[in-house]
């Protein structure tokens, strides 16, 4: 009997100790390990999300666990481009759209711009017009394609087809808009913003993510009823001085995630290969030619044997196969998710449409300088600051005239004005020394043996062709008297290249391309301010925190 009583006493004691230790451990996250001061104290002080577990998967994307892989092509190069030599690269984990951005996705963007910035108002006409895809890309001098010209973008029959006729610049602007809409939705759900505030947005009252982080009272034109909703589900906190705290969500809240953007070339190729099924311990057992397993474009599965696994051009005059039993089910583009995904769950990483990626094109990938998150195209900016120390907010739309004469909106009212970093930011830095790094170590004139301190063309053009990236320079300017755009072609006969800092990489073959181009290692380029009927895009989002989503045990 005594032993039974002793056992019950020990058990009770153990439960009390366990409960106390659990309470201490649960509260330990609210204490700064370096000073012992309280975090998230009701009286005020440092406020931080100590309960944050993991980044939520952004809408429309799938998780891609980063790792090491061989970028580039190892087979012979019949095109003799020599622009995709193999290099070992490491990619951090990220998220990528499971399919290309569709016509329906893009139409929602256009609808938002049209409602917030009415094109009938001359002040905003170029905002909507500059975002419109170029539907004339479907026309051909010797082909009848008016049906696509008139219907492809807007008809619901093509709603789930990838949007085309969109330039690299337009794709970047869409990604920026998408960031703001997702952040706005997240903050509404968390109670930081008034529900359905997007329906009340006007040109002078919109939400911008960067503005909310840096100057939250300036969002929605300073409309406090939206920024501080009366019926918020959040419980307001008051500090010892009687001031309300935690009114706005900061980065420390964990609610505002990384931005949507175009994937880098390395990210796109890594995701397209989907090499997870070739992984064996710490090595890859082989090399994939396509996003699917095997070296052929047709399925070997019994149920779908002989079916093409992507939408591409079979041969001259053969875009879809014989009627009644189509080779790939499409003659132009095909709706997204029509073909099977690769091992990451990504659709159409080969065929359908080629895709814009973030990188500026150069024939070389300088893996000797960097083999971690490789990307060519960095241009560093910072927030413009007023004399009183506050951030400068854009009050009037800032437009840019592209090389083809098209006018696009670069900065909209309510956004933060951005300026290039300068000597104040780069002084004595070892990792970068300028704002524009697009042509760093790329073999241009500064890397050539002809480089001089004052490298300029002589009047007779003697040194003109010695520049490696000596591309045409078309001139466009607005006549001060008539207001019309004056366009002048570059008439020089000494140009040696089409490559410049505005040439962007495109990846993946399209419905117009032969199978050679659907190898993820292939790379081409296209001017960033132009569009075609075979280039679309998808977005990516960086991952914060752990590399993997699996619940691996800590190694200590």
Model confidence pLDDT, tens digit, residues 55-103: 999 999 999 999 999 898 766 677 777 788 889 999 999 999 999 999 9
Q: How many domains does the chain have?
A: 1
C-alpha span between 108 and 25 (Å, rounded): 47
pLDDT band at 506 (very low <50, low <70, confident <90, very high): very high
What is the model's pLDDT at position 3? 57
What is the model's pLDDT at position 534? 97
Is 464 in contact with 494 (CB distance < 8 Å)? Answer: yes
Which residue range is the domain that position 226 belongs to? 193-252
Q: Report the mean per-residue pLDDT for the chain.
A: 85
What's this model's pTM, rounded to 2 decimal places? 0.89
Per the domain annotation, does 452 fall within a domain? no
Per the domain annotation, does 445 fall within a domain? no
Per the domain annotation, does 221 fall within a domain? yes
Whole-angstrom CA distances from 6 to 13, 20, 59 are: 11, 21, 57
What is the model's pLDDT at position 463? 47
What is the model's pLDDT at position 377? 95
Burial (Cβ within 10 Å: 0-12, 13-18, ≥19) of residue 293: middle
Per the domain annotation, does 204 fall within a domain? yes
Q: Which of 192, 186, 185, 193 is nearest to 246 (CA)?
A: 192
pLDDT digits 0-9 by tens, 342-364: 999 999 999 999 999 999 999 98
Whether the pLDDT of residue 528 is over 90: the answer is: yes
The residues near 272 (Cβ < 8 Å, ≥ 6 apart) are: 291, 342, 346, 349, 350, 507, 508, 520
Per the domain annotation, does 522 fall within a domain? no
pLDDT digits 0-9 by tens, 251-284: 999 999 999 999 999 999 999 998 766 555 555 5
Report the first-to-last Cα separation within the chain, whole angstroms: 43
Q: What is the number of alpha carbons within 13 Å of residue 138 lying toward its C-beta?
A: 16
Helices (H) and strands (E) counted in the chain, each on its own, are: 9, 22
Per the domain annotation, does 437 fall within a domain? no
Whether the pLDDT of residue 26 is over 60: the answer is: no
The residues near 4 (Cβ < 8 Å, ≥ 6 apart) are: none
Higher pLDDT, 396 or 1: 396
Q: Which of 549, 540, 542 is nearest to 92 (CA)?
A: 542
pLDDT digits 0-9 by tens, 139-188: 999 999 999 999 999 999 999 999 999 999 999 999 999 999 999 999 99
Per the domain annotation, does 92 fall within a domain? no
Tell me the percentage of the chain whose pLDDT exceeds 90. Answer: 52
Per the domain annotation, does 531 fall within a domain? no
What is the model's pLDDT at position 28? 59
Average pLDDT, integer, range 105-114? 97
Higher pLDDT, 461 or 114: 114
pLDDT digits 0-9 by tens, 427-466: 999 999 999 999 898 877 666 655 554 444 444 444 445 5
C-alpha span between 290 and 464 (Å, rounded): 41
């Amino acid at each position: 009997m005594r032993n039974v009583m002793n056992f019950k006493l020990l058990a009770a004691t153990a439960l009390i100790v366990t409960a106390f230790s659990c309470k201490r451990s649960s509260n330990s996250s609210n204490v700064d390990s370096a000073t012992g001061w309280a975090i998230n104290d009701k009286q005020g002080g440092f406020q931080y999300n100590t309960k944050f577990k993991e980044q939520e998967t952004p809408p429309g994307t799938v998780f891609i666990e980063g790792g090491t892989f061989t970028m580039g092509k190892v087979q012979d190069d019949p095109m003799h481009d020599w622009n995709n030599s193999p290099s070992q690269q490491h990619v951090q984990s990220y998220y990528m759209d499971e399919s290309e951005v569709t016509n329906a996705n893009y139409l929602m963007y256009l609808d938002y711009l049209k409602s917030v910035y009415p094109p009938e108002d001359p002040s905003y006409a170029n905002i909507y017009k500059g975002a419109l895809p170029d539907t004339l890309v479907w026309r051909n001098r010797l082909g009848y394609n008016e049906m696509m010209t008139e219907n492809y973008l807007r008809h619901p029959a093509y709603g789930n087809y990838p949007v085309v006729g969109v330039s690299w610049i337009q794709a970047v602007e869409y990604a920026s808009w998408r960031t703001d809409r997702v952040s706005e939705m997240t903050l509404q759900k968390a109670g930081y913003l008034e529900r359905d505030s997007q329906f009340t947005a006007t040109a002078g009252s919109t939400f911008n993510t960067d503005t909310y982080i840096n100057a939250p009272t300036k969002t929605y034109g300073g409309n406090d009823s939206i920024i501080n909703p009366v019926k918020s589900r959040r419980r307001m906190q008051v500090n010892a001085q009687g001031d309300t705290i935690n009114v706005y969500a900061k980065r420390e809240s964990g609610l505002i995630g990384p931005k949507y953007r175009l994937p880098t070339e390395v990210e796109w190729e890594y995701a397209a290969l989907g090499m997870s099924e070739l992984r064996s311990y710490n090595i890859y057992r082989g090399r994939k030619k396509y996003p699917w397993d095997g070296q052929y474009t047709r399925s070997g599965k019994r149920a779908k044997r002989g079916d093409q696994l992507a939408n591409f051009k079979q041969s001259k005059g053969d875009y879809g196969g014989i009627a009644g039993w189509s080779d790939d089910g499409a003659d132009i583009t095909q709706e997204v998710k029509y073909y099977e995904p690769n091992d990451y769950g990504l659709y159409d990483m080969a065929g359908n449409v080629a895709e814009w990626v973030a990188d500026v094109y150069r024939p070389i990938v300088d893996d000797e300088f960097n083999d971690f998150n490789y990307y060519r195209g960095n241009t560093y900016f910072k927030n413009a600051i007023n004399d009183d120390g506050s951030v400068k907010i854009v009050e009037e739309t800032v437009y840019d005239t592209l090389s083809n004469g098209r006018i696009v909106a670069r900065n909209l009212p309510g956004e933060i004005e951005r300026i290039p970093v300068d000597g104040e930011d780069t002084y004595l830095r070892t990792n970068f020394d300028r704002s524009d790094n697009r042509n760093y170590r790329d073999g241009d004139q500064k890397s050539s043996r002809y480089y001089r301190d004052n490298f300029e063309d002589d009047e007779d053009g003697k040194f003109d062709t010695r520049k490696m990236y000596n591309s045409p320079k078309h001139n466009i300017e607005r006549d001060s008297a008539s207001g019309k755009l004056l366009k002048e072609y570059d008439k020089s006969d000494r140009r040696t290249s089409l490559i410049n800092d505005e040439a962007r990489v495109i990846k993946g073959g399209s419905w117009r391309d032969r199978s050679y181009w659907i190898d993820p290692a292939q790379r081409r380029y296209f001017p960033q301010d132009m569009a075609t009927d075979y280039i679309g895009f998808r977005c990516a989002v960086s991952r914060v925190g752990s590399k993997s989503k699996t619940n691996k045990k800590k190694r200590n």
